[in-house]
Structure 1
Amino acid sequence: MTYQARFPAPFAVLGIMTDGTALTGLDFLPPGTPVLAPQDVISRQVCSQLQAYLADPLFCFDLPLALHGTVFQSRVWQALRQIPSGSTQSYGELANRLHTAPRAVGQACGANPIPVIIPCHRVLARDGLGGFMNSTSGDPLAIKRWLLQHERRQPA
C-alpha cells in the first residue's frame, strides 16, 4: 500500500492515501509503524485536521474526499457524516432513516474507506458496541472504544 502520510495517533498509526486532489483512504496501521511526513498538499491537510480532532473531539472535518462505493454505500456514508461528535445511533435507527436493513448498514459501515473522518465508529448495535472495520473483536473494537471515549470529552 502506498501512503502519502503515516500519522501517529494514540490508538494506531493512520495510513493516509490521496489521489493528489482528495483523500481516498485511511488505514489503521499497528502502533510503532514508522511515521511518514505528508507527501502532498492533501495529506498535509488531513494530518492537520486529524491533529485538530485529537485536540478537540468536536472538530468537524472539512476535507475533499474521493469515495468509490456503490450508490447505497454512498448514502450510508453521507448519513454517517451527519452524526455529531459525542452522539451515536444504532444500526437499526440508521437503517430506519435510510429505509433499509440494519445488516446492510453494517456492511456499508464495514466498507467505509475513510474511518474517523466518516465516523462509522458512532454506529452501535442495539445491545452493545457492535462491530468496527468488519471485526467484532480485537484491536478494531479497542479503536472504536477509544474514539467514542475521546468524543465524550469536552475540548480542553
Structure 2
Amino acid sequence: MIARFNYSSPLGKIGIQADKYGITEVKFVDQPEEDISNPNYPSIKEAVRWLDDYFLGNVPSTYPQFHLRGTDFQQKVWQQLRQIPYGTTVTYGQLAQRINSSPRAVGNTVGKNPILLFIPCHSVLGQNGKLTGYSGGLERKKKLLAIENIKL
C-alpha cells in the first residue's frame, strides 16, 4: 500500500509518500496530491514529527524509516548526503572526493534525491560555497539554510 500526506510547512506544501517499508518520497508540491492516508500511518507520523521539529528550528533527533530505490551509485551519494550534519554544508566537489567520483555525476544524483529535507541536498553548495540549484527552488534552499543558521 502506498500512503500519501500533504504537510503544510512555512515554505509551502510538502508531499510525503510512504510504503510499508518507510518513506519513499518527500517533495515540495505546488498542486498537492490527494491524501491516500492520514498522518497516523507510522512512517508518515514520524516524518510529520520530524518536520514539526525542523521548522521550529530544533535539531531533529530521530528520523523516520526510509525506503530508497536507486542504483548503487545513487545509494552511495544519498548515503553521503545523510552524513552531512545539521547546520553545515559541503560542496559537490567535497562529496565527489568522498566517493571517488566527479562533481558533475554527484550533482546529477543529488538532484535526484527523492527525500528532500531529511536527506539534506539543500546543504550542498557549488564551488567556493556558491548557492546552486535545488529541486525545491533556490528561494526555498536559502530559507532552509537560514533555518539551520547557515550564513552564505
TM normalised by structure 1 equals: 0.85
The whole-number CA distance in structure 1 between the counterparts of 2:61 and 2:32 is 27
Given the superposition, is the C-alpha separation of residues 65 and 34 from structure 1 closer, same or farther in structure 2, using an over 3 Å criterion?
Answer: closer
Q: Secondary structure at the match of 2:28?
A: strand
2:14 corresponds to: 14
1:149 is the counterpart of 2:146: yes
User: Which runs of 4 or more aligned residues in structure 1 lie more than 3 Å from their structure 2 counterparts after TM superposition?
Assistant: 32-37
Map 1:1-156 → 2, pairs under 5 A: 4-30=4-30, 33=32, 37-38=38-39, 40-127=41-128, 128-133=130-135, 140-152=137-149
Q: Secondary structure at the match of 2:148?
A: helix
Given the superposition, is the C-alpha separation of residues 130 and 115 from structure 1 closer, same or farther in structure 2, using an over 3 Å criterion?
Answer: same
Given the superposition, is the C-alpha separation of residues 41 and 100 from structure 1 closer, same or farther in structure 2, using an over 3 Å criterion?
Answer: same
The whole-number CA distance in structure 2 between the counterparts of 1:131 and 1:86 is 19
Structure 1 segments unaligned to the other structure (5+ residues): 134-138
TM normalised by structure 2 equals: 0.87
Q: Secondary structure at the match of 1:6?
A: strand
The whole-number CA distance in structure 2 between the counterparts of 1:115 and 1:67 is 12
1:152 partner amino acid? N
The whole-number CA distance in structure 1 between the counterparts of 2:54 and 2:112 is 22
Deviation of the 1:59 alpha carbon: 1.8
> Paired residues, what number?
146
CA contact (8 A) 1:22 1:64 kept: yes
Q: Secondary structure at the match of 1:58?
A: coil
The whole-number CA distance in structure 2 between the counterparts of 1:106 and 1:4 is 28
1:136 corresponds to: none
Deviations 1:81-122 (A, max 9, x none): 111111000101111111100011111111100010000000
1:24 partner amino acid? T
The whole-number CA distance in structure 2 between the counterparts of 1:95 and 1:28 is 26
Deviations 1:26-48 (A, max 9, x none): 12012x85895425122111111
Structure 2 segments unaligned to the other structure (5+ residues): none
CA contact (8 A) 2:47 2:63 kept: no
